[in-house]
Amino acid sequence: MIKYQLEKHYLKTAKKRVKVCSRCIYDERVPQIYFDAEGVCNYCKLIERLSEQYGTNTKLGEENLKNIINAVKLNGKSKKYDCIVGVSGGTDSSYLLYLCKKWNLRVLAVHYDNTWNSSIASENMRKVLQSLDIDLYTLVVDNKEADDIFKSFFLSGVPEIDASTDLGFTETLYRAASKYNIKYVFEGHSFLTEGITPLGKNYFDGKYISSIHNKFGTQKMITYPLMTFWRFLWWTCVKRIKRIRPFWYVCEDKEVMRKFLEKKFDWQYYGGHHLENRITSFFHSVYSPQKFNADLRNNTLSANVRNGNMKRLDAWREYNSDPFIEEELVSYFKKRLCISDKEYEEIMNSKPKFWYNYPTYKKKFELLRPIFWIFVKANLVPESFYIKYCFPNKNQK
């Protein structure tokens, strides 16, 4: 096991030395981490297992993907679109649009607009969609509702301030699929380039969101696309909408994807994973590191190290440097959510709360584990969901 000197000056409880995985840069502070005899962490092992299972970047992976694409085309006959691709203006979804066009799929791009997009996100989407001649479906949540939900999460003290965007996005994909009678939703997630978010971190489900909102919100939830458990069952069991992650089978290097997008579409990079949306940017660059001592850049940095794109020492150094924060991001956050400077400081310094302090569907997911395993096998639910949600969490109190 390698031990590194910890240099993060903005963390409140800085340790002198931490145990770090010998293969990536996840360290002992990552929830539910453990190391084997060679110092390799369980997350590296998990990625290894998934790569083998899906045949990522091997003939097996290519073959699997080819079969899926054929099934998608067959299903799409006599319909206007073959599949849906969820888009945000980011690297993965933009590149996935290009690939789908290359695979001769007729795509409907779908975007959930939480009303906090940056101009980079809008411009990236516009440029890529226009160039590839792909139609866009958007669900825009009412800005006052969106802000009320974000503010509820901020007031509650839990880390997942952007949970409503993630879940709202998934629900929007399902709704668009249902509207246009499309059976396949393509998502741009890649465990190779992004890693798997550690278990117990960034938990979200429909009940969690409505619990927090019921307790701290003031506006009625009318336009926000909430995915309740029953809605989820409707989409999976009745509508049988499948979720496919092409990058789990065939995955390009992220830098290569970016350079390609820049050259072909005049696409612009926005400085970090998920920073094309301001609330997500606030979460990653300010809220999570400053209030929860949790800097999620280690997900992507570890992935870069595993893929050989970055030296471990360089990744560790970058992880320990200050995150990029868009100018005036915090003042925009406070202005939008009508939070005074005093209130902001109070909440940022208050004791953190976690998802297990509020009602969620977690126990239900755990009880229904065998059913979810069937869903995974039928491509109705991503395996990463099964791994994160259907097993008891050791950190739960």
Contact call for residue 84 and another protein (CB under 8 A):
no
Candidate residues 21, 68, 146, 296; the one interacting with another protein per rule CB under 8 A: 146
Contact call for residue 51 and another protein (CB under 8 A):
no
The sheet carrying 83-86 orders its strands as 135-140, 107-113, 83-86, 184-186, 242-244
Candidate residues 136, 155, 368, 387; the one interacting with another protein per rule CB under 8 A: 136
Q: What CA dihedral angle connects 46, 97, 278 and 242, to 10 degrees?
A: -50
Q: How far is the CB of 94 from another protein (least distance, A)?
A: 14
Tokens of 153: 């999460």
In what helix (H) or strand (E) does residue 83 lie, and over which residues does it extend? strand 83-86
Pick between residue 21 and residue 109 the one whose CB is nearest to another protein. Answer: 109
Pick between residue 36 and residue 341 the one whose CB is nearest to another protein. Answer: 341
Pick between residue 15 and residue 335 the one whose CB is nearest to another protein. Answer: 335
Q: How far is the CB of 202 from another protein (least distance, A)?
A: 24
Residues 336-395 binding another protein (CB under 8 A) are 336
Contact call for residue 297 and another protein (CB under 8 A):
no
Contact call for residue 113 and another protein (CB under 8 A):
yes
3-state secondary structure of 185: strand
Q: What CA dihedral angle connects 83, 85, 91 and 94, to 10 degrees?
A: 70
Q: How far is the CB of 168 from another protein (least distance, A)?
A: 14
d(CA 384, CA 376): 9
Contact call for residue 137 and another protein (CB under 8 A):
yes
Cα 373 to Cα 51, 53, 303, 366: the distances in Å are 18, 15, 26, 11
Write the single-letter amino acid at 336. R
Contact call for residue 144 and another protein (CB under 8 A):
yes
Residues 195-234 binding another protein (CB under 8 A) are 223
Pick between residue 179 and residue 369 the one whose CB is nearest to another protein. Answer: 179
Provide DSSP, 370-397.
HHHHHHHHTTSS-HHHHHHHSS--TT--
Cα 330 to Cα 266, 277, 355, 385: the distances in Å are 29, 13, 24, 31
Contact call for residue 97 and another protein (CB under 8 A):
no
Q: What are phi and psi of 29, to 5 degrees?
A: -80, -10
Pick between residue 67 and residue 223 the one whose CB is nearest to another protein. Answer: 223
Please name which of 243, 196, 255 lies closest in space to residue 48, comparing C-alpha atoms.
196
CB-count exposure of residue 39 (10 Å: 0-12, 13-18, 19+): middle
Pick between residue 120 and residue 182 the one whose CB is nearest to another protein. Answer: 120
Pick between residue 44 and residue 125 the one whose CB is nearest to another protein. Answer: 125
CB atoms within 10 A of CB 5: 10
Q: How far is the CB of 329 from another protein (least distance, A)?
A: 12
Contact call for residue 117 and another protein (CB under 8 A):
yes
Write the single-letter amino acid at 321. S
3-state secondary structure of 122: helix
Contact call for residue 140 and another protein (CB under 8 A):
yes
Contact call for residue 125 and another protein (CB under 8 A):
yes
Q: How far is the CB of 114 from another protein (least distance, A)?
A: 9
Q: How far is the CB of 136 from another protein (least distance, A)?
A: 4
Number of residues this chain uses to bind another protein (CB under 8 A): 30
Contact call for residue 122 and another protein (CB under 8 A):
yes
Residues lying near another protein in the complex (CB under 8 A) are found at 110-111, 113, 115-120, 122-123, 125-126, 129, 135-140, 142-144, 146-147, 223, 278, 332, 335-336
